[in-house]
Each structure stands twice: as C-alpha cells, then as structure tokens.
C-alpha cells in the first residue's frame, strides 16, 4: 500500500487532546486520523486526555468519525486536566491500558501541561509520543504559532472592536482582560490589532503608574482609551487595575470587561485549520520515521521537531521582545 518502510513498527496510534481546548484541535485530530489511515495504520481515539488512558476510554477512529469537524471549535475527543496522570500509579495504569489496546505510539494535542506529562511518561516507559501544540496561549518554544492562537486573538479583536465603538461614543476608558495565566502573548498581538493605548503582560513587569504615564502620552484627540491586560499580569487583573485608575484618573469613566472563555471557543480561523492539518500529518509521518519525545512545530514555514524538555520552557524571547512592546508605544503616541 502507500505505507513506507518504517524504521520502527507502529501499527496503532492513539490520539488524545488534553488541557485547555483550543480552536483547531478538531482539525488536528482529523489530520492525525486521515494520515494514519493513508499510511495504513490503525488509529484509536482516547477520550478526556490522560484521564481516558487511565479509565480505559478508547474509541476506534475511521475516516467517517472525523468527517465534518474541521470547522468546529472544541474537541470531539473531549479534554481534561488529569491529576491522576501526575502520579506513578496513574501512569503505570495508563501504560497497561495502552498495551492491552495494542497501541504502540501516541499523538498528544495540548499545551505545556500536556507535554510535561508526555515527557515523563515517554521516558518512564520508553513509549513513542509526539506532541501537537494546541493552546490559545502560544507559549511554547519551538513553533512560531500554536493551534488556536490565531482564532483566539481574532475573537479578542472582534470583541474589542465592539467595545471601542461604545467607548468612543461615551469617552470612556476600558480595561479589557484577556486570557493567559502565564503568558501575555494573547494580550500582546490583540493589543496591537485593536490599537490599544497600553497593554499589561506578565513578561513586561509594568505597574499602574507606567500605565498612567502611557495614557498621559497617548493621542489626545482620541477620546476613548483601551488597555488590554493579560489575566496573569502581576498587577492583579482588570478589576484591581480599574480601581486604581479610577481613583487616580477621575476624569475618565472607567469600565471593565473580562472576555473569559469565549476566547477558547468558536470556529477556528483558516490559519489554524491549515496549521493543525499540517501538524497532524507531520506527527504521523514523524512517528513512522522514528521521531519521539518531541513537539511538532513550524518555524519560518518549515516543519520542526523540538524535544518536549525544550518546548515547555515558556520563555521565548523572540515572541515577547521589547520590539513588540515598543510598537504599541509608537502606534498609540
């Protein structure tokens, strides 16, 4: 058939989604399933991430089970954050269940928590695993973009454009909180995209006085002001910053908007669908060519494989360089 001569024999690939869902996860599942079938490999779905491995929640996947899902947000395999998988007992149960199902390799789709678990498990049992970066946070090293990031920032831009209309009509200052517990990358790009007057992100170490200074120096002819703050910023979230600003800046009628989980749902953008499709095929081909313990990524349009140890490092100086922060200052001046 179409299957190449494999370096290591893989007859059955398990696929799961884990951690916070992200738009495009379904497109990634579809690509993994279709690529496995193309190479004549069986593919088994695992429900609710690592919880499904431990609880024996397996489903056979075929071409039809992934039909008509490329455009859907969420994940048809469901997802969870598993505490049991953090224990040695949980992981050895998962390994026994995988063996009983004759699954020889895994594709895990998720973020840093997912890859931390995969890294430990693959070393503990010498089990081949490849990760696909599926998180709206874009906070993984070894890929320019993660699956879901583009959709999430477009959701933010859409929401904040609406907020700008009303802010402008009422001459108001809005503090908009976006997701990103450990990372300000959603705030950074969406902030540029909406023409924010300032952004507050964990990586930039900015306090409320810095924001006041920026507001003083931003365009005077623009009666509305938008500050985008990442959920994980040290200043403590939109409500806390709002209180201080209202006190120090009484001339502004300050309003707060927390966008929350709408950023995680909805149709994936075409960018995310294509990225997920490419990653899914690369993961299957990578496994068949002997890759393991790595995350698939795309850097400068090329497919890359980065060891889990490195991918979960969080800090990517390029992604949060001062050049990006300066861009906001220049554009709101």
Q: Please state, in angstroms and rounded to a whole number, the distance separating the CA atoms of residues 16 and 260.
A: 25
Cβ closer to ligand F6P: 158 or 285? 158
Residue 44 tokens read as: 């088994």
Q: How far is the CB of 180 from ligand F6P (least distance, A)?
A: 5
Site string for ligand F6P, 172-211 (x = CB under 6 A): -------xxx------------------------------
Q: Which of 34, 42, 78, 264 binds ligand F6P (CB under 6 A)?
A: 264
Interface of this chain with ligand F6P, residues 97 to 116, rule: CB under 6 A: 111
Interface of this chain with ligand F6P, residues 19 to 78, rule: CB under 6 A: 20
Task: Estimate the crossing angle of helix 270-288 against helix 149-170, to 10 degrees.
Answer: 160
Asked whether position 138 contacts ligand F6P by CB under 6 A, the answer is no
Q: How many residues does the chain have?
A: 333
Distance separating the N- and C-terminal Cα atoms of the chain: 62
Task: Give the residue numbers annotated as catalytic, written as ranges.
Answer: 137
Q: Please state, in angstroms and rounded to a whole number, the distance separating the CA atoms of residues 48 and 164.
A: 38
Cβ closer to ligand F6P: 93 or 237? 237
Helices vs. strands in the chain: H and E counts, helices first = 11, 11
- 110 - beta bridge partners? 133
Q: Residue with the closest Cβ to ligand F6P?
A: 181
- 230 - beta bridge partners? 178
Q: Where are the alpha helices (DSSP H) in 171-306?
A: 185-194, 208-217, 237-248, 270-288
Q: How far is the CB of 311 from ligand F6P (least distance, A)?
A: 14
Q: How far is the CB of 264 from ligand F6P (least distance, A)?
A: 5
Q: How far is the CB of 135 from ligand F6P (least distance, A)?
A: 5
Asked whether position 231 contacts ligand F6P by CB under 6 A, the answer is yes
Cβ closer to ligand F6P: 41 or 152? 152
Q: How far is CA 94 from CA 112, 207, 277, in A?
A: 20, 45, 27
Query: Using CB under 6 A as the criterion, which residues of the chain lie in contact with ligand F6P when the complex forms?
Result: 20, 111, 135-137, 179-181, 231, 264
């Amino acid at each position: 058939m179409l299957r190449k001569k494999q370096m290591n024999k893989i007859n059955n690939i398990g696929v799961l989604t884990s951690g916070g869902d992200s738009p495009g996860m379904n497109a990634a599942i579809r690509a993994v399933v279709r690529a496995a079938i193309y190479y004549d490999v069986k593919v088994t779905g695992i429900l609710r991430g690592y919880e499904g491995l431990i609880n024996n929640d397996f489903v056979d996947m075929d071409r039809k089970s992934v039909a008509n899902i490329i455009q859907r947000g969420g994940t048809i395999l469901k997802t969870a954050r598993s505490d049991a998988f953090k224990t040695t007992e949980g992981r050895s149960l998962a390994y026994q269940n995988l063996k009983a199902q004759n699954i020889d390799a895994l594709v895990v789709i998720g973020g840093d928590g997912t890859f931390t678990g995969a890294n430990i498990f693959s070393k503990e049992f010498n089990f081949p695993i490849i990760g696909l970066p599926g998180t709206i946070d874009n906070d993984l090293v070894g890929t320019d973009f993660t699956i879901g990031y583009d959709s999430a920032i477009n959701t933010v831009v859409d929401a904040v454009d609406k907020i700008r209309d009303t802010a402008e009509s009422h001459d108001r200052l809005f503090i908009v909180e976006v997701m990103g517990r450990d990372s300000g990358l959603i705030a950074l790009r969406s902030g540029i995209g909406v023409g924010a007057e300032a952004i507050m992100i964990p990586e930039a170490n900015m306090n409320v006085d810095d924001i006041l200074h920026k507001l003083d120096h931003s365009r005077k002819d623009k009666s509305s002001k938008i500050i985008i703050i990442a959920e994980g910023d040290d200043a403590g979230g939109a409500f806390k910053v709002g209180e201080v600003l209202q006190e120090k800046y009484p001339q502004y009628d300050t309003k707060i908007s927390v966008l929350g989980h709408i950023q995680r749902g909805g149709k994936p953008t075409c960018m995310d669908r294509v990225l997920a499709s490419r990653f899914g095929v690369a993961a299957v081909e990578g496994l068949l060519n002997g890759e393991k313990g790595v995350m698939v990524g795309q850097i400068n349009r090329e497919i890359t494989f980065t060891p889990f140890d490195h991918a979960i490092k969080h800090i990517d100086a390029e992604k949060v360089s001062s050049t990006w922060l300066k861009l906001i200052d220049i554009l709101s001046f």
